[in-house]
Amino acid sequence: MTNTSRPPVFWSVRRLLGASAIGLLLTSGQALAADPIKFGVIAEAQAIAGASIPQAAQLAADEINAKGGVDGRMIEIVTYDNHSSSADSVRAFQRAVNEDKVHAVIASYVSEVVLALMPWAARLKTPLVTPGAASNEIPLSVHKDYEKNKYTFHGYLTSAALALSVCDAAKDLLVDEKHMKTAVIMSEDAAWTKPLDIGYEACLPKIGLKELDHIRFSPDTTDFTPIFNKIEGSKPDVIITGISHVGVQPTVQWKNQQVPIPMLGISSQATNETFGKDTNNAADGVLFQAVAGPGVAMTPKSVPFAEAFKKKYGNYPSYAGYTAYDEVYYIADAIKRAGSTDADKMVDALEKTDWEGTIGRVQFYGKDDEFTHGLKYGKGLITGLLAQWQDGQQVAVWPKEVAKGPLKFPNFIKVTSN
């Protein structure tokens, strides 16, 4: 009998092994097709302005995944708290790429951190997008050595563009409406404020504000009384600010000292909804530049995002939350258009970005522009807005298209329309 040479158990085992092998092949093939797309998010998770970055990135990923991901691949956010340290950020970047195998990195609102990461983005050929660093040196470095630094994209306005945004707002609100004529620049001493202050010095006289003094102070400053006393001695109509690493202390002391001069400019911490509470409402009257804000429809996506963020995390996002959210979306869109997570193909697709985000229409300056891979600034693209803390709330006051109310200052501020 032909079958006696093979016992029945042999055929059962053979069939079982065959089915298992086929199952393994199918499973591995399905897993390969569904491998997640990993985004590393390196941020100042404990900082007022930085905490929104990983939260907003996760919210965007959740929304994209709920709709099927990118061609069936889910987006996975891998977060790293850099403790506001460049060294910790570099270690996190190396781990993200070498160990966690991320395909792109969203990193930091601190310019010094991003500048420290750029060589590693080049070395490890990994796209890097910042949601909040402002230094001109980021896109300028891409322009100076494109082949090396092309992996870095500036997902926030440059210091030069921020200065223009502040001056555009100051002209309409302070010069044209309040007939102000003089200003003192007060900025923290940091990489991002050097070009910001150069921008201020160039644009303030053009809008009709004469610069009376220019004060740069250490971000470690705890007592701002001498600084405010010096400013009061100059008797300017307005203080033009460039502050990010600090915010709570100068604002509280401005209120406690009853400095009778309004503050307008960049105040990154003031963009976070918790700033009013953090300062015990000393923030009332402070004017700050932002790219979006609660209840402000910069685009149809702005308000839905802000409300979804608050529902999930209990507060509205900082400025870097809006940009981080947008970045997850347009990096995912670039991957979809590229049909690949290959770094060079992603870079090519990112350069062609034309994405309506929460802060405006996102496009990047090209290889031939000095601000290569910087966000384009201007009407129809991204202009930013000016908001003011009023009665514990952030109220948009400029531009007119999105303004929710007029200027409103506390009693100790002496501002009158002439």
CA 218/CA 182 separation, integer angstroms = 24
Q: What are phi and psi of 37, to 5 degrees?
A: -95, 120
Q: Does one domain contain both 248 and 339? A: no
Q: Does one domain contain both 152 and 115? A: yes
Look at residue 125 and give its three-state secondary structure. Answer: coil
Q: Does one domain contain both 303 and 180? A: no
Please list the residues that pair with 75 across neighbouring strands: 37
CA 50/CA 59 separation, integer angstroms = 15
Tell me if 247 is assigned to some domain.
yes
**pLDDT confidence band for 201 (50 / 70 / 90):** very high
372: nearest Cα among 130, 114, 150, 133: 150
Place of tokens 């947008």: 326
- Please count the residues of the chain: 418
Return the number of other C-beta atoms located less than 10 Å from residue 242's C-beta: 28
Tell me if 309 is assigned to some domain.
yes
The boundaries of the domain holding residue 202 are 160-290+384-398
CA 314/CA 402 separation, integer angstroms = 24
Q: Which amino acid is at 286?
A: V
- Judge whether residue 404 has pLDDT over 80: yes
261-299 residue pLDDT tens: 999 999 988 888 788 888 888 899 999 999 998 889 999
Place of tokens 């033009």: 240
Q: Does one domain contain both 187 and 311? A: no
Tell me if 379 is assigned to some domain.
no
Tell me if 17 is assigned to some domain.
yes
**pLDDT confidence band for 9 (50 / 70 / 90):** very low
**pLDDT confidence band for 18 (50 / 70 / 90):** low
Tell me if 203 is assigned to some domain.
yes
Place of tokens 């996102």: 362
Q: Which amino acid is at 308?
A: A
Tell me if 375 is assigned to some domain.
no
CA 257/CA 183 separation, integer angstroms = 19
- Residue 24 is predicted with a pLDDT of 46
- Residue 11 is predicted with a pLDDT of 44
293-345 residue pLDDT tens: 888 999 999 999 999 999 999 988 888 999 999 999 999 999 999 999 999 99
Q: Does one domain contain both 183 and 286? A: yes
CATH code of the domain covering residue 170: 3.40.50.2300
Q: How many structural domains does the chain have?
A: 3
Q: Does one domain contain both 279 and 215? A: yes
Please list the residues that pair with 107 across neighbouring strands: 42
Tell me if 333 is assigned to some domain.
yes
- Judge whether residue 2 has pLDDT over 50: no
Q: How far is CA 204 from CA 36, 169, 182, 256, in A?
A: 49, 11, 9, 28
Tell me if 284 is assigned to some domain.
yes
Q: What is the pLDDT averaged over residues 28-51? A: 79
Place of tokens 């600034």: 377
Please list the residues that pair with 104 across neighbouring strands: 39
Contact between 319 and 271 (Cβ < 8 Å):
yes
C-alpha radius of gyration, the chain, whole number: 25
